[in-house]
Amino acid sequence: MAESSSSTNSANIEDQETNVVTMIDVLKEEEDMEENAKALLGGFDDKTCSYSKEYVRRQPLYSCLTCKPKENPTTTDVSKLAGVCLACSYHCHEGHDLVELYTKRNFRCDCGNSKFRISSTEHKKCNLEPVSNYLNLFFLAIIPGNKDALNELNLYNHNFLGLYCVCERPYPDPEVDVEDEMTQCIVCEDWYHGNHLGSKSPPHDDFSEMICFRCMERNDFLWHYRGLFVTPLSTESDITPSMAEVNITPSNGEIDTTSSNGELCQSIGAARKSSEINVNGITGIKQGKACIIKDRELLKGTGSVFCSKGWRKLLCTCNSCQDIYKTNNVSFLLDEEDSMSAYEERNKDGQFSTSYERGMRALSSLDRVQQVEAIEGFNDMKSHLKEYLQKFAENKKVVREEDIREFFLGLEARKKQKLEVNIPHFCR
């Protein structure tokens, strides 16, 4: 019995320890979430539809499952699906079942266009920017606006249905206990589970972008640049004397290339300053007519690949190669500003603000009396929280997440009771 009691106590202690949430943990988690939100949303207005910006180079998007075509709500035809911008997700689809699509390139907001039909004579309107007259005439309703019926250049995939990877599963997956981390392909922009990539994923700090195995099969000319991939070569026979050693510095993922004859090739920083580059034994002119890969044997590999930071700077941009990119609809690879790292860098000075900054702005917008009341309310909350936590310290108990929740529920109840007591009789 004693042993049983001891083991029970031990189990309870372990359970308590697993539920421990320190203030540092909470603040760190909030800071990380705000930094991620700023990187994703910082450059976009949450009150103005992005439609007028036309096909935005890269923007956060959402798919509304609530507004799927009513005549066929279970459709898997991606051409019937639609994507809406950040502002429309707030002002036109609030409370709807939204799929967060992270970011997509060259997409124009669909909100309110012909894909949002409710019936043969009615459609879901965009609250921020109505669709154009001819579309509304089609629905027998004349409403002025400037949105087209369809955005012909938009591309859609199964992500708009809330499905990802070759396994066609949702994320998070309700049937999986331990979720496998997912990585987005920079070409098709689908998301893949690590164990479905066909290659072992290197540490995140060692690469900047991933190209999935399906996109590498469709764009096999990219294997010319295998020396810029972090993915290990399949076999020793894949390495030829003309290929350069490529070392990836774990701290920053920068490329340092050394040719087989011992000559130090130019780094990415030097390649930025000069049109001449040397990588994988390839020497040529980056800008101009000379092709740096035409005399190279194409050694194809298998699986997904992980690209080093700055790899786009070293892609050949001769006329012939540009035609290949254009034919394969991957010209965006030559645009360094297309990358997620460039996108996040642009958003650093965007409109997104932290909770502290929003709080200070809200406080400064109040008059003097309201500011004093707000500060008194904060001090009152701080005093009650100190008393509440003191009991845990005295009893040597761990403060759990549900304890903090209980405190704020009690605080809200006391505030409500205080307001009811102070209401004058004639106002009841």
pLDDT in tens, 220-268: 999 999 999 995 544 344 433 333 333 333 334 444 444 332 232 343 3
State how beta strands 117-119 and 122-123 pair. antiparallel
Q: Tokens at residue 341, please?
A: 């790292």
- The DSSP letter of residue 185 is B
pLDDT above 90 covers a percentage of the chain that reads: 39
Q: Where along the chain do its domains lie?
A: 50-160, 182-347
Handedness of CA 128, 133, 138, 143 (dihedral sign): positive
More confident residue, 20 or 57: 57
Q: Tokens at residue 292, please?
A: 């740096």
Sequence-separated (6 or more) residues with CB below 8 Å from residue 389: 399
By C-alpha distance, which of 320, 254, 338, 324 is closest to 284? Answer: 320
Q: What is the pLDDT of residues 5-48, one digit of tens each?
A: 455 445 454 444 445 555 556 556 666 666 666 666 766 788 99
Cα separation, 357 vs 348, whole angstroms? 15
Asked if the model's pLDDT at residue 366 lies above 60, the reply is yes
Cα separation, 66 vs 97, whole angstroms? 5
Contact between residue 66 and residue 97 where contact means Cβ atoms under 8 Å apart? yes
Cα separation, 15 vs 205, whole angstroms? 33
Q: Tokens at residue 129, please?
A: 């920017």
Q: Tokens at residue 25, please?
A: 């943990």
More confident residue, 301 or 416: 301
Q: Tokens at residue 105, please?
A: 């390139």
What is the number of H-type helices and E-type strands within the chain? 11, 12
pTM over 0.85: no
